[in-house]
Amino acid sequence: MEAVDLIVPDGEEIRLINIFGEQKRIRARLKETRLLEHKIFLERI
């Protein structure tokens, strides 16, 4: 998903919301965050 503005954990799912308000739910967990590169890696479960 492009232009993700908000990442919300919701049980075993993560809700991604972009700058246009579009939402996507995926079954995943946080794997790695690289703040200097502006990257967040998720791992599907």
pLDDT in tens, 1-45: 889 999 999 999 999 999 999 999 999 999 999 999 999 999 999
| CA 15 and chain centroid, separation | 6
In this predicted structure, what is the pLDDT of residue 2? 87
In this predicted structure, what is the pLDDT of residue 1? 80
Say which residues have a Cβ less than 8 Å from residue 17's Cβ, sequence separation at least 6.
4, 5, 6, 7, 8, 23
Domain that residue 22 falls in: 4-44
SS3 22: coil
Supply 26's token pair: 């995926």
In this predicted structure, what is the pLDDT of residue 29? 93
Q: How many domains does the chain have?
A: 1
Strand partners, 29: 43
pTM attached to this predicted model: 0.79
